[in-house]
Amino acid sequence: MVTQSHVNVFLFIVFFQLLALSSGEFLKLPLLHPTPGPSPSEALSQDLRHLNSLLSRPPGIKSPVISGASSGTGQYFVTLHLGAPPQKLNLVADTGSDLVWARCSACRNCSAHPSGSSFLARHSSSFRPHHCYAAACRLVPHSPHGSLCNHTHLHSPCRYEYSYSDGSVSAGFFSAEVATLNTSSNRVAELRDLDFGCGFQVAGPSVTGASFSGAQGVLGLGRGGISFSSQLGRRFGNKFSYCLMDYTLSPPPTSFLTIGGVAKSSTDFRFTPLLTNPLSPTFYYISIRSVSVDGVRLPVSSSVWSFDKIGNGGTIIDSGTTLSFLTKPVYTQVLAAMRKRLRLPSAAPPTPTPAFDLCANVTGLDRKRATAKLPRLSFRLAGGVEMAPPPRNYFIETLEGVWCLGIQEVTTKGAFSVIGNLMQQGFLMEFDRDKSRLGFSRRGCSLSS
């Protein structure tokens, strides 16, 4: 449906199209956290689903999309404007997957669809499904049933299908659309052909309902060629950054996902190398050298932190997981040290989900005094830098007056450790893909807003 007014809007956008960013300029997408955030038990069950799907690598798919990946249960949303005229979508920001996808509707008369509930393909004059023979179509996983191309159809579209380990699915047409983006100097940039999955069948607990918190899809920021960061990186500069603001704050602060350019606080950054694991080319791996609790280094063999020759193990940074997950040898040590150094009465773990191994009773203490009695965790990273997250990044309030250690043991064979989004709160994180390094700064967040 291309009405006259849509054509006009489209021309308007093309007219103002920005071909390149000027020096120091970068793209800014609002990064939000829905309120209320998930309860710790919800976060945990979402995370476990998410990690299971990260771990279930479908055999035989030789493409940058290795995992069919994210169940999209992360809790930070990016606002993306797609189509002509632009439609506003909230997508889960996920460094643990590659595909950008949005729930789509083929409605013509969409009065039954509240604005923003899905992408209305027929209301965009620039929507173009890829052909099933297009090179782009080989980059996405397809339905195991039915052949990819139907030779009797001239216009056979590229069908993708992402299945998750819990049976959830996002399936539809792999397509190209116009993305409209703001720059740091309040100009409008436009990417004419952003590849994304237009999801006509979206079903299952991982991608619908409460656990998805009203998002319309996932913004994959992984290392694969079809991710948002790869597609925009080729045009606007191959780095991105974000600051995940503390979501217990009220009103919830806004920050931005930025693409390209140089973050203002770059002098303040500490850097650690980003590693590539051929077994999981989507993920951003970092190398942890040691962990300390209250300044005492834990007796953990450093080999525990690295991935092996086959690619098992290692540690990833994932904005789409809420809690952090450590492999057994590390978790056991962290838990023992935390238990020993906690200067607060312990509390029984909350009953509906006795999933937390260490909880403190902070009844009668204000937040500041309770926080002062929590052990301090810090990670020594490759590059000789220290990451010392504030205690609220790893102790979470599970009930009124009960704070639990928000770190979990990951038991699956071949599994990796995950630094989730809670642990990253309050840091400006810069993924510099050209230099293969991760920059982080505790003072950068105020600059990114």
Ligand X SMILES: *[C@@H]1O[C@H](CO)[C@@H](O)[C@H](O)[C@H]1NC(C)=O
Residues involved in catalysis: 94, 318
Q: Is the peptide bond before 85 cis (omega within 30 degrees of 0)?
A: yes
Task: Give the three-state DSSP class for 181.
Answer: strand
Count of other CB atoms within 10 angstroms of residue 106: 13
Specify the residue, 13 or 418, whose C-beta has the smaller distance to ligand X: 13
Q: In this structure, what token pair is assigned to residue 317? A: 């940074």
Q: Is 146 in the site for ligand X (CB under 6 A)?
A: yes
Return the residue of 348, 351, 368, 413 that touches ligand X, per CB under 6 A: 348
Specify the residue, 141 or 314, whose C-beta has the smaller distance to ligand X: 141
Least Å distance, CB 334 to ligand X, is 22
Return the residue of 8, 185, 254, 363 that touches ligand X, per CB under 6 A: 363
Q: Which of 446, 359, 349, 347 is nearest to 405 (CA)?
A: 359
Q: Which of 171, 208, 198, 164 is nearest to 67 (CA)?
A: 164
Q: Is 278 in the site for ligand X (CB under 6 A)?
A: no
Distance CA 245, CA 374 (A): 21
Say if strands 188-203 and 100-105 run parallel, antiparallel, or are unpaired.
parallel
Q: Say how many residues make up the chain.
A: 449
DSSP string, 263-307: -TTGGG-EEEE-B--TT-TTS-EE-EEEEEETTEEP---GGGGSB
Specify the residue, 191 or 300, whose C-beta has the smaller distance to ligand X: 191
Q: Stretches 180-188, 198-206, 266-274, 295-303: which one binds ligand X (CB under 6 A)?
A: 180-188
Task: Give the three-state DSSP class for 338.
Answer: helix
Specify the residue, 207 or 404, whose C-beta has the smaller distance to ligand X: 404
Restricting to residues 376-405, name those near ligand X by CB under 6 A: 402
Q: Which element (helix H / strand E) includes 50? A: helix 40-55
Q: Is 5 in the site for ligand X (CB under 6 A)?
A: no
Least Å distance, CB 77 to ligand X, is 13
Specify the residue, 9 or 298, whose C-beta has the smaller distance to ligand X: 9
Q: Is 412 in the site for ligand X (CB under 6 A)?
A: no
Q: Is 4 in the site for ligand X (CB under 6 A)?
A: no
Distance CA 273, CA 281 (A): 15
Least Å distance, CB 109 to ligand X, is 4
Phi, psi dihedral angles at 45 (to 5 degrees): -70, -35
Q: Stretches 13-21, 54-62, 63-71, 179-187: which one binds ligand X (CB under 6 A)?
A: 179-187
Distance CA 67, CA 152 (A): 31
Distance CA 353, CA 260 (A): 42
Least Å distance, CB 131 to ligand X, is 15
Specify the residue, 286 or 370, whose C-beta has the smaller distance to ligand X: 370
Q: Is 147 in the site for ligand X (CB under 6 A)?
A: yes
Q: Is 84 in the site for ligand X (CB under 6 A)?
A: no
Q: Is 449 in the site for ligand X (CB under 6 A)?
A: no
Distance CA 123, CA 304 (A): 52
Return the residue of 143, 182, 312, 353 that touches ligand X, per CB under 6 A: 182
> What mask of x and - would describe binding to ligand X in positions 52 to 81, judged by CB under 6 A?
-----------------------------x
Q: Which of 52, 98, 47, 101 is nearest to 75 (CA)?
A: 47
> What residue ranges bind ligand X (CB under 6 A)?
81, 86, 109, 111, 146-147, 150, 152-153, 180-182, 347-348, 361, 363, 402
